[in-house]
Amino acid sequence: MRSVVKTLQEEFSKNLSIRTSPGALDHITVATKDGKLPLSQLGQISLKSPQLILVNMSSFPESAAAAIKAIRESGMNLNPEADGLIIRVPVPMVTREHRENLVTVAKQLTNRAKESLRRVRTEAISQTRKAKSSVSEDTIRLVEKQIQQMAEDTVAEMEKLLAAKTKELLG
């Protein structure tokens, strides 16, 4: 259950930020002839200004077109432009609509995390029930209640994370 929350926190920090950072493109994977590689391994990513990210593809010039395609299809609403071996990625100004879209994405990520948590809880309860032969019914019920309580506490923690992220995004 901890790992589900940790993954949600990482998703929030990676994908849902108003501030531009060179790390904003790190999670993008590029399909090359050698397989799928992270953009950060193919090109040098730098921040020219808060509105412009540069990706220097001089190390892997043959992957420049694939990198542009991957950035365009990343779902980050970016429109990269090729300038020789340099890819210019203009970052749009953050509008109210964009902030609201980020909040929607945050809610979707939280719902996915809750689904993962439900799977973890169900698996833990079924493993507990398999021990029926060696443990009493009361003990099994007690353990199931504890698992349920842990799941509820984790959901509450996720809701707090979502509320904090929503407040951060909407200002």
For the whole model, what pTM was predicted? 0.64
Q: Give the domains, in start order, of the chain with CATH numbers.
A: 20-90 (3.30.1360.40), 96-170 (1.10.132.20)
Percent of the chain exceeding pLDDT 70 equals 95
Residue pair 55/43 in contact (Cβ under 8 Å)? The answer is yes
Q: What is the average pLDDT across 99-127?
A: 91
Number of helices (H) and strands (E) in the chain: give both, helices first: 5, 6
C-alpha span between 76 and 34 (Å, rounded): 25
Q: Write down the pLDDT at residue 151.
A: 94
Instruction: With cut-offs at 50, 70 and 90, classify the pLDDT of residue 112.
Output: very high
> pLDDT, tens digit, for every residue of 52-74?
888 898 888 888 888 899 888 87
pLDDT of 142 strictly over 70: yes
Find the range with the poorest average confidence among 6-10, 147-151, 159-163.
6-10
